[in-house]
Amino acid sequence: MVLLGGMLPVVAKLPLFQDAVWVFWLAALALMLGALALVVRVTWRERRSSGH
């Protein structure tokens, strides 16, 4: 997810996608936030289950 999110802004610089750059940036941001939320959720679950 993080790699894909990092690649989207690079792809958005291609002349073919010049009109839809903001779509790529929003998709990249959503992927990054999704990956961050997934990591936080897994870490929280691990910490909670190891506490019992």
pLDDT tens string 33-51:
999 999 999 999 988 888 7
Other Cβ atoms closer than 10 A to 10: 10
pTM for the full model? 0.56
Q: How high is the pLDDT of residue 42?
A: 93
CA 15, chain centre distance (Å): 23
pLDDT of residue 37: 94
Residue ranges per domain, the chain? 2-51
Read off the pLDDT of each residue in 3-7 and give the average, rounded to a whole number: 72
Q: Do the Cβ atoms of 4 and 41 come closer than 8 Å?
A: no
- Structure-model confidence comparison of residues 26 and 11, the more confident one: 26
pLDDT value, residue 41: 95
